[in-house]
A and B are shown apart, each in its own frame.
Chain A
Amino acid sequence: GQNIDQPTEMTATEGAIVQINCTYQTSGFNGLFWYQQHAGEAPTFLSYNVLDGLEEKGRFSSFLSRSKGYSYLLLKELQMKDSASYLCAVSSGDYKLSFGAGTTVTVRA
């Protein structure tokens, strides 16, 4: 089976940095995705990691360690619009993704 864990909620102040951790135990591994989902909307793609290391994309960065089954999403210079749920998803073959339950980030002024 697939087991993907991430914290339920995080709160941070506008302008700060927040790190959302994701640990996984899956039967296969073909890459890890992070999605952003605003309340009442569809998930949208943020990042993809398949090799160990850090991928940077503007204010957002994602890190992967395959040997540790660990990833994190780093959100810098937080803005109010970053208040959303962040979903960690593992691709483990057969074109399917397994999702964690999501981390709700609340940005306070």
Chain B
Amino acid sequence: IAGITQAPTSQILAAGRRMTLRCTQDMRHNAMYWYRQDLGLGLRLIHYSNTAGTTGKGEVPDGYSVSRANTDDFPLTLASAVPSQTSVYFCASSDSARGDYNEQFFGPGTRLTVL
């Protein structure tokens, strides 16, 4: 593994189903993030984690949950998917030890369609 990986690459999901998007990084970064990207709205932060064992809410957290059991993994769960959650989801990480220099590295994205 090099950098950040996400799975699945794409998914079509029936409304009401539960879905977990996976994210793994091998850079030993402390901080990780989940964004959704919608046309005309740019990247919006869903949840973040500054270090293993802690998580926080971003701009659009409703309908999503995350966990951070270890440094490498940061899964995003949709408990009961709705069509408005159709989007492209990006996971990112950064080295919080670098203080204010918060360059984020992005995974390849998951394209999710909820019908």
> Interface residues, chain A, CB within 8 Å of chain B?
8, 30-31, 33, 41-45, 48, 50, 87, 89, 91, 94-102
Q: Known: A30-B102, A48-B103, A95-B31. Is A101-B41 also a contact (CB below 8 A)?
A: yes
Question: Given A44-B106, A45-B103: A101 and B58 within 8 A (CB)?
Answer: no
Which B residues from 88 to 110 make CB contacts under 8 A with A?
90, 94, 96, 100-109
Chain B 1-58 interface residues, beta-carbon cutoff 8 Å to A: 31, 33, 35, 40-45, 48, 50, 56, 58
Cross-chain contact B106 with A87 (CB below 8 angstroms): no
| Contact of A100 with B42 in the complex, beta carbons under 8 Å | yes
- Shortest CB distance B71–A (Å): 15
Q: Are B42 and A99 interface neighbours, CB within 8 A?
A: yes
A96-B58 CB under 8 A given contacts A45-B103, A48-B101? yes
What are 12 A-B contacts with C-beta separation under 8 Å?
A30-B100, A33-B102, A33-B103, A42-B106, A43-B90, A45-B103, A95-B31, A96-B48, A97-B104, A101-B41, A101-B42, A102-B42
